[in-house]
Amino acid sequence: MSGIAGFFSPNTFFSETDLQQMAAPLQKRGAQSSHHYYEEGLGLIHQRLSFVDKSPEAQQPMQSHNGRFVMVMDGQAYNHHEIARGFSNEQFNTTSDAEIILENFVEKNIRSIYQINGMFAAATYDREEKVLSLFRDRVGIKPLFYYWDEENFAFASELHALLKLPQIKRRLNKKAVAEFLHLGYIPAPHTLYKHIFKLEPGSWLRIQDKNLIVKKYWTVADKIYEPKLRSRLPYLNTEANALKHFEKILLESLEQRTPTTATYGTWLDHHPESCLLTALLAKQKGNDFPTLSVAYPKTKNNEPRNAVKVAEHLKTNHEEISVSFDDIRSFVNSLPEKFQEPVADFNQFTYTLLGQKSKEVAEVIMTAQGADALFFGNGTHHWAQRLDSSWIKTIRKPYAYLLKINKSTKARKASALLNYSHKDDLLSHVYSQEHLLFSKRELPSLLSSYTPISPYPVIDDASLTPLEQQALFDINYDLPGNSLFLLDQALMSNTVEARTPLLDFRIIEFAINLNPQLKYRGAQPKYLVKQLLQKFVPEKLWAKQKLEQTPMLAQWMEKELDDYLNEKIVKECGVVEFEVVQQLKEQFKKGHTYLYNRLWALTILHVFLSNAIAQGMEVE
């Protein structure tokens, strides 16, 4: 793992000294060494954290054998030995995956990306043609930001590295504010700043002179129609065969991602996918590795700590991290430092605690990101199916009105979900309202200046079920913009590497082509995951009990809300109408608990905006 950054400009807009400015925020991603490459108009810098080849010969920026190309790379190609076997006469100077990826790029250019199975964000420079190319892994495990003003270009693993450049003006992107309040994160390609973008997952970018091209090389929707995958569907869509194949490719993915020269562990919680990964890892490598979980303050109906039961069954070295309400306040105040953009998902708190503890016990952490999207585990999938019912379509508006009378969180959520404006917005509406965020209908009155949000495209195919459509939305937007971004930031800020075996592209392509009945059977989500887990861990140890409880976040906000959303702060930031915020606060205090996540999103937004304005952001 590492941090990368660089610039490309036909004039002297950027200079060699700027590389050192960009390096400072990257040190958390790799502090073993720092090296850079510079020639007029082009600069690359690399902060190193290596687990494969720690020799000086493997340091980056790395030049190709023919001297024509230079590369920096963050991430790892787990199949680099397989790619290396494609070179008949090539003699490699290191055991680094970066050297193999670079030489493969020399031979095949952009086409070489298709061969990589891993997580990566990389930049290569062609010294002869004066072309800079960037590319990012299929689902966006590794972040990659870039600045472009139609003439000058810069990129970095960390948004803060770009903001270190004094030439880049900090101007608020108000469209991104609207998207954040609607989804709880800012989806690619946008960021909180004008002229700063995220390279979308599964994309490559090329810049030459003043011409910039961005294209997709992989989309999950395209893989639904992959002829080779389709030809195997009759075999894989029987439960026994699907279970056998799923176990096979998941074990292969784990084997590729389990380091041989670094310590490793897992995050273990009550979800079946984390239990499954831990069980399979114990089966493959033995149980002498750490597992970590978080224990939130107990309430009268607190969820049983299944992670402890599973760890005891598997005999791993388990540790449970206790949390208090006081921890949240210190966490909120440090958000702009820990994370680069506002995200409303409270998992950022959990991930931060786990990341801090992970640093003490392991260099690499296996996590189960992706299972919810791939195997219909989110509440959004349940609602996508319900809203497709013909009788629900008939009565949804009067039913929504009746439910609105009840102020319980469950009733108000259902009312909001039923009350969508147009089917073109249904995917983002279901996501937004399942997470108790602002609907598109609410944004014009909330925001001081509102730019309408366009529908989020997925794929227009009537043969896909609503569950499948909603899952594609999660894979395209929620995974890279929310879950994977938080995971990367929480672990890399502690110089710990995250590995996500369920996001091996072979597992993704298997899962999206699987019969929906093998993913969501009856009212049971993640069906295939649970069936496989039962082979290793008794169901009574991990089966989730459905218990109603007031979220910890809502309980905390009852006491802390005014400190973060008072009139002075809201009006100084100037992006939302204080009168609307005040109404939301008053309703929340009167028992409308369902508003807690809207107010949490506003809190996070204003913490970030206050910090950014103090550092010179312009709010136009």
Report how far residue 394's alpha carbon sits from residue 392's, in angstroms, rounded to the nearest whole number: 5
* pLDDT score recorded for residue 551: 74
Residue 291's nearest CA partner among 283, 282, 304 is: 282
Q: What is the pLDDT of residue 91?
A: 81
Would the CA dihedral through 104, 110, 114, 116 be positive or negative?
Answer: positive
What are the beta bridge partners of residue 72?
123
Structure tokens at 2: 């590492």
At 229 the pLDDT is 67
Specify the pLDDT at position 603.
95
| Residue 576 pLDDT grade (very low, low, confident, very high; cuts 50, 70, 90) | very high
pLDDT at residue 24 tops 60: yes
Portions of the chain given CATH number 3.60.20.10 = 2-216
Confidence of residue 304 (pLDDT cuts 50, 70, 90): very low
The stretches of 452-576 forming alpha helices (DSSP H) are 466-473, 484-492, 505-512, 527-533, 539-542, 552-564, 567-573
User: Tokens 């939130």 correspond to what residue?
Assistant: 296
Residue 461: what pLDDT?
74
pLDDT of residue 561: 78
What amino acid occupies position 174? K
What confidence category does residue 299 fall into, taking pLDDT thresholds of 50, 70 and 90?
very low
**C-alpha count within 13 angstroms, C-beta hemisphere, residue 267:** 30
Token pair of 379 as six digits: 């509440």
Contact 492, 1 (CB under 8 A): yes
What is this structure's pTM?
0.94
DSSP state of 483: I
Place of tokens 């790379």: 73
Helix (H) or strand (E) holding 45: strand 42-48
CATH number of the 222-376+467-542 domain: 3.40.50.620
Which tens digit of pLDDT belongs to each residue from 192-221?
Answer: 999 999 999 999 999 998 899 999 999 988
Q: Which residue has better confidence, 440 or 87? A: 440
Question: Which of the pair, 259 or 546, is modelled with greater confidence?
Answer: 259
pLDDT in tens, 494-549: 889 999 999 999 999 999 989 899 999 988 899 999 999 999 999 999 886 554 45
Task: Enumerate the known binding-site residues for L-glutamine.
Answer: 97
Tokens of 227: 């002829």
User: Do the beta carbons of residue 38 and residue 6 sit within 8 Å?
Assistant: no
As a whole number, the mean pLDDT across the chain is 90
The enclosing H or E element of 104 equals helix 97-108
Between 52 and 268, residue with greater pLDDT: 268
Report the residue count for the chain: 620
CA distance 452 to 68: 46
The amino acid that residue 324 corresponds to is: S
- Please enumerate, by residue number, every residue annotated as part of a binding site: 97
For the ranges 186-195, 298-307, 437-446, the lowest mean pLDDT is seen at 298-307
The residue ranges of DSSP E strands in 104-144, in sequence order, are: 118-126, 131-136
Sheet holding 317-322, edge to edge: 317-322, 290-295, 264-267, 364-366, 497-499
Superfamily (CATH H level) for 2-216: Aminohydrolase, N-terminal nucleophile (Ntn) domain (3.60.20.10)
Phi, psi at residue 75, to the nearest 5°?
120, -160
Range with lowest mean pLDDT among 212-216, 290-294, 441-445, 464-468: 464-468
Task: Please list the residue range(s) of the chain that carry CATH number 3.40.50.620.
Answer: 222-376+467-542
% pLDDT > 70, the chain: 94
Percent of the chain clearing pLDDT 90 (strictly above):
67
Count of beta carbons in the 10 Å neighbourhood of residue 463: 6
- Transcribe 146-213 into DSSP letters: EEESSS-EEEESSHHHHHT-TTS--BB-HHHHHHHHHHSS--TT--SBTTEEEPPTTEEEEEETTEEE
End-to-end CA distance of the chain: 38
Judge residue 70's burial from the number of C-beta atoms within 10 Å of its C-beta, 0-12 exposed, 13-18 middle, 19 or more buried: buried
Q: Residue 237 is encoded by which pair of tokens? A: 């869509």
Residue with tokens 């009856």: 522
Report yes or no: 335 and 604 within 8 Å, Cβ to Cβ. Answer: yes
Most confident range, picked from 36-50, 81-95, 456-470: 36-50
With a cut of 70, say whether residue 293 has pLDDT above it: yes
Taking phi first (over 0 means left), then psi (-120 to 50 degrees means alpha), and beta for anything else, what does residue 286 get?
A: left
Instruction: Dig out the tokens for 24 from the structure.
Output: 């400072």
**pLDDT, average across residues 102-106:** 94
Alpha-carbon gap, residue 602 to 599, rounded angstroms: 5
153-156 and 196-198 as β-strands: parallel, antiparallel, unpaired?
Answer: unpaired
Query: Which residues is 140 bridged to in the sheet?
Result: none
Q: Return the top range by mean pLDDT from 49-58, 61-70, 490-499.
A: 61-70
Supply the pLDDT for residue 303. Answer: 44
pLDDT (average), residues 185-192 = 96
The amino acid at 155: F
**Residue 259 confidence (pLDDT) above 80:** yes
pLDDT at 424: 83
Q: pLDDT tens digits, residue range 412-432?
A: 999 999 998 888 889 999 999
Contact (CB, 8 A) for 256 and 78: yes
